[in-house]
Structure 1
Amino acid sequence: MSFVKRFERNTVGRDFAVGDIHGHFTALQNRLAQIGFNRDVDRLFSVGDLVDRGPESDNALEWIDLPWFHAVRGNHEDMAIRWPSGNMDSAHYAANGGGWNVSNPRYLQLAFSGAFDALPIAMEVETEAGLVGIVHADCPFPTWRDFTVSIDDSNLSNKMRKAIFEAALWSRERIQDEDRSGVAGIRALIVGHTPLKNPAVLGNVHYIDTGGWFRDGYFTLIDLSTLETIPPIPGKLDWAA
């Protein structure tokens, strides 16, 4: 299994990425309708965190089977993967939005665990203007190639791979430091994980989780060809919480 999924350029439609969904698929569908998303030719890429916190987390299995929808693994998928094995405290999981899965029957817990375990850690999409990378939280290497080669290296120790996965799914170091150094080897890196009041860019790293799962939040979409966001970036890094 490769932990990196690659997509050729879309020559017939548009490619968009969306921030963390967190069980709000109806709201996402409404957002897609607003931009005239065409399921026959357009593609939607997700930065992960499909589940927890929202009322429609159970719909995630249907969404990841849609031919036009593609997601990377987020830290909330990581928790759902680990939950059936008993490697997590139920109170901690529920406090992070996992109550829906704690109450699921065993067969469904295993179904979600298996489906999410099959999701890639990273995706890369060819566009007219160059390669765009997608990962949930961050690329923990200075270059995209170092990252993608490392996570698929069969000789990599389990300890090192776990550390890389942890950073890719959980890290907020870059945005907390407002590090503008970027990631070499790709045109842009699209991430979520950290909720912001507005989409933001640090170097070539685009943060698009604007809390579509908050009461006063909204889903940001980014066109992978133009790197224009819907709504536009106001040019200010602003935390949601």
Structure 2
Amino acid sequence: MTQVQRFTINTVGRDFAVGDIHGHFTKLQAALDAVGFNPATDRLFSVGDMVDRGPESTDVDVWLAKPWFFAVQGNHEQMAVDAHRLSHKGQASYIHMINGGAWLYGLSTVEQAFYVDLFAVLPIAIEVMTPIGLVGIVHADCPFDDWAQMLGVLEQEQGAMQRSVQTICQWSRARITSENDTGVSGIRAVLVGHTVVLQPTVLGNVYHIDTGGWRGGHFTLIDLATLECFPPVNPELCSR
């Protein structure tokens, strides 16, 4: 597993990020169509939680095979990996099941292993170079107020320390629940999902973009080069 995946600047097209998908890929495609997404030149980055809860979780392999689609590992992908490694026994599989993972356990053991192998190699963090500087992506939160400090732990530490930071990256709601607008230094912006918001919410330079497209809301796409949201929102609603 590569902890951090890095991308050079897109010189021929646009880069977008999207919030949690949760098995609603048809609805995601409609959002891409609405912004004129061009798969020949544009790229799409997912903040993770591509599966569970929605009806199209089994389509995740098709999307991960697209040369323009990239994702970090969300807590739902991590739950699937953990449950599989424990042979579906105990608390790990139960937690995944009650959080929308039943689709996986209805598949054959070979199919289950196929999907889990896809999830297991996803990075915890993504960096994308843009004309305005580096943009970072993690699923839930950055555990430090300095981006480089987080990368240092992910890439150089092992064991309990690394796992603790991974857990915060995938599960924490601390920044948004406390309305911490300190931001993260060393990076232009950090894009996260995990916590559903009515409109994209900006705290410092941390953009929360899971607007609940998977549960009746809408998918928000954010242009990494401009940090402009689609569909457009009232600027007063885009920050706290």
CA drift at 1:130:
0.5
Query: Where does structure 1 differ by over 4 angstroms across 4 or more consecutive aligned residues?
Result: none
Query: Aligned pair 1:219/2:228, yes or no?
Result: no
* Cα distance in 1, alignment partners of residues 49 and 212 from structure 2: 11
How far did 1:88 drift? Answer: 4.7
Task: Choose which of 138, 142, 154 in structure 2 pairs with 1:139.
Answer: 142
Partner of 2:39: 39
**Among 89, 94, 97, the residue aligned to 2:100:** 97
Q: CA deviation at 1:151?
A: 0.4
Q: Check conservation: 2:47, 2:138, Cα contact below 8 A.
A: yes
Task: Report how many residues are paired.
Answer: 235
Structure 1 residue 232 displacement after superposition = 2.7
What's the counterpart of residue 22 of structure 2? 22
Q: What one-letter code is carried by the residue in structure 1 that aligns with 2:152? A: V
Moved more, 83-92 or 66-75: 83-92
| 1:112 Cα offset (Å) | 1.4
Determine helix, strand or coil for the equivalent of 2:101. helix
1:117-162 deviation digits (Å, cap 9, x = unpaired) = 1000000000001100000001101111111121011xx2411111
Q: Does 1:168 align with 2:169?
A: yes
Distance 2:164 2:137 in 1: 18
| Code of the aligned partner of 2:54 | G
Q: CA deviation at 1:233?
A: 3.7
C-alpha distance 88-116 of structure 1, shift in aligned 2 (>3 A): farther
1:213 alignment partner, SS class? helix
Distance (Å, rounded) in 1 between the aligned partners of 2:182 and 2:196: 21
Cα contact 1:82–1:113 (8 A) shared by 2: no
Q: Is the 8 A contact 1:80 1:109 kept in 2?
A: no
**Percent same amino acid among aligned pairs?**
52
Residue number in structure 1 paired with 2:52: 52
Q: Which amino acid is the alignment partner of residue 137 of structure 1?
A: A
One-letter identity of the residue aligned with 1:68 = W
Structure 2: runs of 5 or more not aligned: none
Identify, as 1 or 2, the structure richer in helix: 2
Instruction: Please report the TM-score for the alignment, with normalisation by the length of structure 1.
Output: 0.94
- The reply to whether residue 13 of structure 1 matches residue 13 of structure 2 is yes
**Rounded Cα–Cα distance in structure 2 between residues aligned with 1:87 and 1:134:** 32
Structure 1 gaps, min length 5: none
Q: Does 1:130 align with 2:133?
A: yes
State the alpha-carbon separation in 2 of the partners of residues 221 and 173 from structure 1.
23
Aligned to 2:182: 181
